[in-house]
């Protein structure tokens, strides 16, 4: 079956084996093309006071060329664009491995909206309820990670990674060990671990996987020494493999005088099972939008949390919330690295994450972990039945798997990215992996706890169908998409300085004038 | 019990799935986690509120213990601003399709790419610059990255920073620019503007904000741009975009990089949770190469006339090259970019100008009203939205006002209070503040 645009020819009964889908297509113009002089979308209050005359040196000479539109037309434009977008609420979002796409409970959005008119610099007496949420969530995440103290200030997981490396730097500096100028990470840890360490001034050493798919412990042994500031590692890594020797890794780094920092972006499958501190880690971070269900919002606003041992607690970004038994107050740790973000962090997401944990409790978190792992292994079982699909390294997986289409690609010439584009024709998202592609023709699936068995069956069926299409008619798969808002995009101008157009004004200048 | 958020927690389906895999229990999948790392007890967490009603009641109990800026009359600003948020902004950013999406490809997430392209394009018009990033975390991060971009571009490692920057932002910049960039502070002159006493070829950039931390509009941008350029350095300007309907955009006085926060463009205060950062430059390849964040661009599809979108110059990023990319990129604050786009489209050129004029006029009105009882600092300067007053005791004034149901401002130090006035403050609100200040003193 080639699902093309002519849906009228498909049978209604019996139902076709795959869901018929077509993304909305509105031929929606670029917003500037909708502008008509003199229209406006909202009126603002009159000054009610004498106007201020500005000197030429600071006065805007020409009005900005913003679109001129009435309110309905702004709304309609954006609602059409929203329809041309998939979110967790609409699709079986298991195809963005490493990102833990899960259901964000709608009720939590209401709690977030309830703090819309709070100002972050209100007197503490006027925000006790919110400070209590901070205090309680800090302790919950402390319990989940085993860490002594937690800061909820960072604006995302990567910002929390940066805050952790800044604390590591401050810790060594305070001990007169500024000569420690190397950070060790692993190839399957998120790129931000390497990139944040580099931004903070460190030389980065990357451990590659050994024959078993684990970070090479011999390479670690060779790398650690008096220049080691820290190990920054994800476990399970983005392959889905949990490193059973993780305690040895931590001990090796500690023996060399370095710190061990745990990226817990992949914590969803180990909640209540194992904890960062219990493996000896000094610092860790969580992505509240991954593990604790705050919505991903097209790429943020996110929120991050840093957990640290007693030794690192003085360096936490400030302020943190203190409780004297009666009221909640803000305090700045004595050797704080300072602010990593304005105010106290992304409070709406702090509120959502708190509510999510409160809805689940200890037993619920364990159910989350176990179900995510069960779902992952069930999906792996289904995917590995598809001819041409494989999962490198014959090891157990926790909450996700990095798969490979190497065999299929060699046989058909169809690449993983093309399979993903074609899979989208059936109403699901699919992602390859971060570069560089250490696993050839990779794709990474992470089902989480949110999806049903029927969802997982459907997703596997879609991939099986596309793989079969690739064998039968590779050019057809390469020509995808067919059911999307737009057709195949020519990406080459995006890398050419003479052609690229990062804004409409650049496009008009380069291509329309 | 099957939790409402976890369909496959139901025991029947679990058994069916385990049987399909050929596993005896979920424990089998955890065999790689050594016994000594296993938590041998349940997590010590409060009992779950599984019923949504119980959760709502619990959360309401906590969230009722706040008094927000609609219940009190608030003049708090200092980086988080109480501008009116049009209902259409809320409608769009609450849509499931945007709110719960993440990293979809340009096909199935065409809407997100277009909405973000339109946001950066409208910012480009406001700023008169051709390149604007998909939002970074906040204005603090935007300033830090803009300065790092300037240092990488000029291959220098010293920046001259206006001292009229908030203490919190300065804290972030000191941490972020360490260990390799030296910060030299340019003092604030009597009029409230930056003063540059010495500058030479060792600097990568001059950084100033307008309006600055005192609400003062800097008037010597062109002069400072010329000074920076004469020494091979860049002028980096932090500008609140909401002021640019009336104030000259930094590009018009030849700033090389503009940066700042977009919270004022349609985001609620949300206890400081509504921040996102922008960075903008002209379309100059070596400078574009220094952006760490994503840039979305327009591209043709195989159907003539159809617009597609994708990442511009992806090779810059850590997604592509890990530590060899520029700084890092990750989940930041994209939805606020879409929301700011909605805001700018609603405003249009006339709305953004009207808004600026109202804020300018009311700020001046408030300064005059308060000058009857306190010292208004930098009174001859042009102010946008904020101004500083000097009082015998900041704490005493603010406590006294709070007793009257007014959040009077932010204490910058023991004797200086920053007062914020936007289009949301009526003349009557301002008169009320002035009277309450007089009574409190």
What would the mean pLDDT of B83-104 be, rounded to a whole number? 97
Mutation pick from A137, A195, A381, A480 vs chain B, by most beta carbons of B within 10 Å, is: A195
Same domain, residue pair A131 and A184: yes
**CA distance, residue B423 to nearest chain A CA (Å):** 6
Same domain, residue pair A224 and A308: yes
> Which residues of chain B have a CB within 8 Å of the CB of A50?
361, 364-365
Read off the CATH number of the domain in which A376 is found: 3.90.1150.10
Q: Give the residue on A whose Cα is nearest the Cα of B216.
A: A58
Same domain, residue pair A351 and A269: yes
| Per-residue model confidence as pLDDT tens digits over B273-306 | 999 999 999 999 999 999 999 999 999 999 999 9
What's the whole-model pTM score? 0.97
- Point out the residue among B5, B275, B346 whose CB comes nearest to the CB of A42: B346
CA pair distance A151, A141, nearest whole angstrom: 10
Residue A182 has pLDDT above 60, yes or no: yes
> Of A489, A190, A513, whose CA–CA distance to B113 is shortest?
A489
For chain B, what is the mean pLDDT? 97
Contacts of A15 (CB under 8 A, 6+ apart): none
CA pair distance A411, A405, nearest whole angstrom: 10
Mutation pick from A187, A193, A342 vs chain B, by most beta carbons of B within 10 Å, is: A342
Overall number of domains in chain A: 2
Q: What is the DSSP string of A238-295?
A: TTS---TTHHHHHHHHHHTT-EEEEE-TTGGGGTTTB-TGGGT-SEEEEETTTTT---
Q: According to the model, what pLDDT value does residue B271 have?
A: 98
What would the mean pLDDT of A210-235 be, rounded to a whole number? 97
Residue A269 has pLDDT above 70, yes or no: yes
Kindly state whether residue A199 falls inside one of the protein's structural domains: yes
C-beta separation of A260 from A185 below 8 A:
no
| Per-residue model confidence as pLDDT tens digits over A56-84 | 999 999 999 999 999 999 999 999 999 99
| Per-residue model confidence as pLDDT tens digits over A307-341 | 999 999 999 999 999 999 999 999 999 999 999 99
Kindly state whether residue A58 falls inside one of the protein's structural domains: no
* End residue of a domain, out of A360, A383, A413: A360
> Of B209, B6, B369, B185, whose CA–CA distance to A268 is shortest?
B6
What does residue A240 show for φ and ψ, rounded to 5 degrees? 90, 0
Question: For chain A, how long is the longest CA-to-CA vector?
Answer: 76
| Per-residue model confidence as pLDDT tens digits over B40-62 | 999 999 999 999 999 999 999 99
Kindly state whether residue A91 falls inside one of the protein's structural domains: no
* End residue of a domain, out of A344, A360, A376: A360
Same domain, residue pair A315 and A340: yes
pLDDT-derived band at A289, boundaries 50, 70, 90: very high
Kindly state whether residue A455 falls inside one of the protein's structural domains: yes
Same domain, residue pair A295 and A370: no
Dihedral of the alpha carbons of B313, B316, B322, B326, in degrees to the nearest 10:
-150
Q: Give the residue on A whose Cα is nearest the Cα of B30.
A: A398
| DSSP state for residue A8 in the 8-state scheme | G
> Which residues of chain B have a CB within 8 Å of the CB of A68?
348-350
Question: Which tokens in the block code for residue A281?
Answer: 């880690």
Read off the CATH number of the domain in which A344 is found: 3.40.640.10
Q: Which residues pair with A287 in a beta bridge?
A: A304
Same domain, residue pair A325 and A412: no
Question: From residue B193, how far is each of B38, B168, B209 by CA, in Å?
Answer: 59, 19, 10
C-alpha distance across the termini of chain B, in Å:
61
CA pair distance B177, B293, nearest whole angstrom: 17
Residue B1 has pLDDT above 80, yes or no: no
For chain A, what is the mean pLDDT? 96
Cβ within 8 Å, pair A39-B348: yes
| DSSP state for residue B35 in the 8-state scheme | G
Domains of chain B: 13-51 (no CATH), 73-83+349-440 (3.90.1150.10), 87-343 (3.40.640.10)
What would the mean pLDDT of B20-33 be, rounded to a whole number? 96
> Which residues of chain B have a CB within 8 Å of the CB of A306?
none
Residue A10 has pLDDT above 70, yes or no: no
Lowest mean pLDDT among A15-19, A308-312, B7-11, B422-426: A15-19
Residue A3 has pLDDT above 60, yes or no: no
Which structural domain range is residue A260 located in?
107-360
Same domain, residue pair A413 and A315: no
Mutation pick from B58, B63, B110, B411 vs chain A, by most beta carbons of A within 10 Å, is: B110
> Which residues of chain B have a CB within 8 Å of the CB of A357?
45
Kindly state whether residue A258 falls inside one of the protein's structural domains: yes
- Point out the residue among A127, A342, A368 whose CB comes nearest to the CB of B6: A368
Percent of chain B with pLDDT over 90: 97
Kindly state whether residue A177 falls inside one of the protein's structural domains: yes
Same domain, residue pair A264 and A371: no
Cβ within 8 Å, pair B109-A85: yes
What would the mean pLDDT of B386-400 be, rounded to a whole number? 98
| Per-residue model confidence as pLDDT tens digits over A453-507 | 999 999 999 999 999 999 999 999 999 999 999 999 999 999 999 999 999 999 9
Kindly state whether residue A323 falls inside one of the protein's structural domains: yes
Q: According to the model, what pLDDT value does residue A8 have?
A: 55
Residue A11 has pLDDT above 80, yes or no: no
- Radius of gyration (C-alpha) of chain B in whole angstroms: 25
| Per-residue model confidence as pLDDT tens digits over B136-187 | 999 999 999 999 999 999 999 999 999 999 999 999 999 999 879 999 999 9
pLDDT-derived band at A513, boundaries 50, 70, 90: confident
Same domain, residue pair A174 and A314: yes
C-beta separation of A207 from A235 below 8 A:
no
Cβ within 8 Å, pair B137-A345: no
Same domain, residue pair A339 and A394: no
**CA distance, residue B107 to nearest chain A CA (Å):** 6
What would the mean pLDDT of B208-224 be, rounded to a whole number? 98
What does residue A229 show for φ and ψ, rounded to 5 degrees? -90, -40
B6 Cβ under 8 Å from any chain A Cβ: yes
Same domain, residue pair A351 and A388: no
B 224-243 → A contacts, CB under 8 A: none
Residue A407 has pLDDT above 60, yes or no: yes
Kindly state whether residue A460 falls inside one of the protein's structural domains: yes
> Which residues of chain B have a CB within 8 Å of the CB of A264?
none
- SS3 state at B218: coil
Cβ within 8 Å, pair A357-B69: no
Structure ipTM over 0.90, yes or no? yes
Contacts of B245 (CB under 8 A, 6+ apart): A60, A63, A64, B126, B347, B349, B351, B352, B353, B354, B355, B356, B357
Same domain, residue pair A166 and A312: yes
């Amino acid at each position: 079956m080639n699902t093309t645009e002519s849906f009228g020819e498909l049978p209604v009964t019996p139902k076709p084996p795959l869901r018929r889908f077509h993304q909305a297509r509105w031929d929606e113009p670029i917003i500037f093309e909708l502008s008509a002089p003199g229209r406006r979308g909202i009126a603002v209050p009159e000054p009610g006071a004498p106007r201020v005359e500005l000197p030429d040196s600071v006065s805007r000479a020409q009005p900005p060329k913003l679109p001129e539109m009435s309110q309905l037309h702004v709304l309609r434009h954006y609602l059409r664009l929203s329809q041309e977008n998939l979110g967790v609420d609409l699709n079986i979002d298991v195809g963005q491995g490493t990102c833990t796409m899960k259901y964000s409970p709608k009720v939590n959005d209401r709690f977030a909206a309830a703090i819309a008119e709070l100002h972050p610099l209100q007197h503490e007496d006027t925000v006790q309820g919110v400070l209590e949420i901070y205090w309680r969530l800090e302790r919950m995440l402390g319990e989940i990670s085993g860490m002594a103290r937690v800061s909820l200030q960072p604006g995302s997981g990567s910002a929390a990674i940066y805050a952790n490396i800044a604390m590591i730097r401050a810790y060594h500096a305070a001990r007169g060990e500024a000569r420690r100028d190397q950070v060790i990470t692993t190839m399957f840890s998120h790129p931000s671990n390497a990139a944040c360490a580099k931004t903070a001034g460190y030389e980065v050493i990357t451990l590659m996987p050994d024959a078993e798919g684990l970070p090479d412990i011999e390479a670690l042994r060779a790398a650690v020494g008096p220049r080691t500031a820290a190990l920054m590692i994800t476990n399970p890594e983005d392959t889905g493999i949990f490193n059973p020797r993780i305690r040895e890794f931590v001990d090796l780094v500690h023996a060399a005088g370095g710190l061990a920092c745990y990226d817990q972006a992949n914590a969803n499958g180990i909640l209540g099972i194992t904890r960062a501190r219990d493996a000896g880690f000094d610092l860790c971070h969580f992505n509240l939008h991954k593990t604790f269900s705050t919505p991903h919002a097209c790429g943020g606003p996110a929120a991050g949390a840093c957990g640290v041992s007693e030794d690192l607690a003085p360096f936490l970004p400030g302020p943190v919330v203190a409780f004297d038994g009666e009221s909640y107050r803000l305090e700045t740790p004595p050797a704080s690295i300072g602010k990593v973000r304005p105010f106290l962090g992304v409070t709406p997401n702090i509120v959502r994450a708190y509510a999510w944990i409160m809805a689940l409790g200890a037993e619920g978190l364990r159910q989350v972990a176990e179900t995510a792992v069960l779902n992952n292994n069930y999906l792996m079982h289904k995917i590995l039945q598809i001819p041409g699909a494989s999962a490198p390294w014959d090891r157990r997986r926790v909450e996700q798997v990095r798969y490979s289409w190497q065999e299929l690609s060699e046989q058909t010439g169809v690449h993983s990215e093309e399979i993903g584009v074609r899979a989208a024709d059936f109403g699901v998202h699919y992602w390859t992996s971060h570069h560089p592609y250490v696993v050839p023709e990779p794709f990474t699936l992470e089902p989480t706890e949110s999806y049903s068995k029927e969802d997982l069956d459907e997703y596997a069926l879609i991939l099986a169908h596309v793989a079969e299409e690739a064998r039968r008619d590779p050019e057809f798969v390469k020509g995808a998409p067919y059911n999307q808002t737009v057709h195949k995009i020519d990406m080459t101008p995006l890398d050419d300085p003479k052609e690229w157009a990062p804004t409409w004004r650049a496009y008009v200048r380069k291509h329309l004038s | 019990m099957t939790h409402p958020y976890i369909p496959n927690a139901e025991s029947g389906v679990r058994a069916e799935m385990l049987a399909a895999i050929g596993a005896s229990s979920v424990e089998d999948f955890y065999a790689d986690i050594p016994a000594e790392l296993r938590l041998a007890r349940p997590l010590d967490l409060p009992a779950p509120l599984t019923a949504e009603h119980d959760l709502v009641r619990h959360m309401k109990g906590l969230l009722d213990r706040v008094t927000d800026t609609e219940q009190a009359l608030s003049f708090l600003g200092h980086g988080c601003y109480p501008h009116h948020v049009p209902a259409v902004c809320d409608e769009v950013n609450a849509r499931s399709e945007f709110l719960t999406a993440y990293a979809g490809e340009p096909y199935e997430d065409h809407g997100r790419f277009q909405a973000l392209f339109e946001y950066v394009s409208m910012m480009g018009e406001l700023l008169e610059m051709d390149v604007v990033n998909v939002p970074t975390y906040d204005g603090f991060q935007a300033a830090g990255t803009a300065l790092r971009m300037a240092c990488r571009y000029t291959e220098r490692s010293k920046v001259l920073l206006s001292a009229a920057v908030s203490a919190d932002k300065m804290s972030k910049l000191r941490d972020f620019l360490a260990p390799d960039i030296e910060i030299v502070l340019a003092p604030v002159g009597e009029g409230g503007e930056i003063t540059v006493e010495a500058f030479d070829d060792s600097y990568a950039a001059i950084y100033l904000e307008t309006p600055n931390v005192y609400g003062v509009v800097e008037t010597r941008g062109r002069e400072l741009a010329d000074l920076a350029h004469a020494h091979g350095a860049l002028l980096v300007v932090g500008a609140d975009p909401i002021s640019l309907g009336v104030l000259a955009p930094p590009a018009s006085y030849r700033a090389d990089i503009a940066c700042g926060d977009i919270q004022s463009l349609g985001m609620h205060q949300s206890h400081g949770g509504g921040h996102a950062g922008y960075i903008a430059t002209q379309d100059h390849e070596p400078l574009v190469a220094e952006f760490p964040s994503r840039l979305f661009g327009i591209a043709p599809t195989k159907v003539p006339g159809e617009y597609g979108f994708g990442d511009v110059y992806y090779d810059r990023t850590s997604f592509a090259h890990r530590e060899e990319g520029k700084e890092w990129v990750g989940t930041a604050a994209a939805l606020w970019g879409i929301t700011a786009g909605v805001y700018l489209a609603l405003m249009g050129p006339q709305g953004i100008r009207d808004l600026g004029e109202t804020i300018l006029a009311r700020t001046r009105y408030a300064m005059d009203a308060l000058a009857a009882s306190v010292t208004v600092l930098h009174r001859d300067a042009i102010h946008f939205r904020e101004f500083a007053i000097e009082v015998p005791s900041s704490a005493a004034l603010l406590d006294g006002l709070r007793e009257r149901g007014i959040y009077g401002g932010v204490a910058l130090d023991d004797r200086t209070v920053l007062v914020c006035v936007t289009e949301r403050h009526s003349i009557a609100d301002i008169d009320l503040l002035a009277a309450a200040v007089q009574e409190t003193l």
